[in-house]
Amino acid sequence: MNMPNTSSKPWYREPWPWFLMAGPAIVVVAGFVTAWLAVRSNDGLVEDDYYKQGLAVSQRLARDQEAAHLGLSAELVAGGNGLDLRLFLSGNADAALPEVLQLRIVHPTRAGADQTVALTKDAAGFYVGRLTAPLQGGRWHVMLEDEGHGWRIAGDWLPQEQEAARLRAATISN
């Protein structure tokens, strides 16, 4: 009797085993990419002491109310190099403007990029200071306060799109 000649290819020459192995291989690669992204970027969104932060809300509101009472507003401009800052602060006639201010520039999602700058009053009445590094792209929260933390004004800034950041006291509605 004559047997049919069935020469089969080795398994690695067939397309189906490779197709079936591709799914798990893709999942393994995606897992490594996800782990690399998680290690590389710090989320910076989790507060260590969220309860204490929640209790401090009334203190922050009082500082905003004090700034509104004093009629404070400011305009912040970065110099051509992106490091030098110049701020003009205005307020009511009874508002005593301090010699030194604290400016915090906070990125909403990258805590490592946040900067704090001491601004000093120059002879022309402007407050000047210098960043430690140029601001990266995106939206930044800008907060200005006196050294005694008696008042605070804030605003958002897109340095690549806006020439100046305008800071005002937060409006509080009951």
Residues 145 and 63: beta-carbon distance below 8 Å:
yes
* 82 compared with 70, residue with greater pLDDT: 70
Residue 109: pLDDT band by 50, 70, 90 thresholds? Answer: confident
Query: Residue 47's pLDDT band (boundaries 50, 70, 90)?
Result: low
Cβ 77 vs Cβ 164: under 8 Å: yes
Mean pLDDT of all residues in 54-63 = 77
Distance between CA atoms of 54 and 33, rounded to whole angstroms? Answer: 36
The CATH number of 71-168 is 2.60.40
Model's pTM, two decimal places? 0.68
Buried b (16+ CB within 10 A) or exposed e, 84-113: ebbbebebeeeeeebeebbbbbebeeeeee
Contact 87, 120 (CB under 8 A): no
Q: Among candidates 108, 98, 49, which has minimal Cα distance to 70? A: 98
Measured CA to CA, the distance from residue 44 to residue 69 in angstroms comes to: 33
Q: What is the largest CA-CA distance in the chain?
A: 115
What sections of 50-173 are H helices per DSSP? 50-55, 57-70
SS3 76: strand
CB atoms within 10 A of CB 64: 18
